[in-house]
A = this chain, B = another copy of it.
Amino acid sequence: MSEAALDGLIEALQRLPGVGQKSAQRMAFHLLQHDRDGARRLSAAITHAMSAMRHCTRCHTFSEHEVCTTCTDSRRDARLLCVVETPADQAALERSGSFKGLYFVLMGRLDPLRGVGVADIGAEALLARAGDGVVEEVILATGFTAEGEVTAQALQAALVARGLKVTRLARGVPAGSELEYVDLSTIAHAMGDRR
Task: Name A's B-contacting residues (CB within 8 A).
Answer: 1-6, 8-9, 11-13, 15-18, 23, 25-33, 35-36, 38-50, 52-53, 61-64, 68-70, 86-88, 90-91, 94, 107, 180
Contact = CB atoms under 8 A, between A and B. Distances in A.
Contact of A15 (B4, B6, B41): B41
Given A16-B42, A32-B49, A33-B86, 4 more contacts: A1-B68, A1-B94, A3-B64, A12-B45
B30 A69 contact: no
Contacts of A42: 12-13, 15-16, 43, 46
Kindly report how many copies of this chain are found in the complex they form together: 2
Contact of A52 (B2, B5, B40, B50): B5
21 contacts: A1-B61, A1-B91, A2-B69, A3-B68, A4-B64, A5-B49, A5-B53, A6-B62, A8-B48, A13-B45, A15-B31, A15-B35, A16-B30, A25-B88, A29-B87, A32-B49, A32-B53, A33-B87, A36-B50, A43-B46, A46-B46
B40 A3 contact: no
A61 B45 CA distance: 28
A62 B32 contact: yes
Contact of A9 (B2, B49, B61, B90): B49
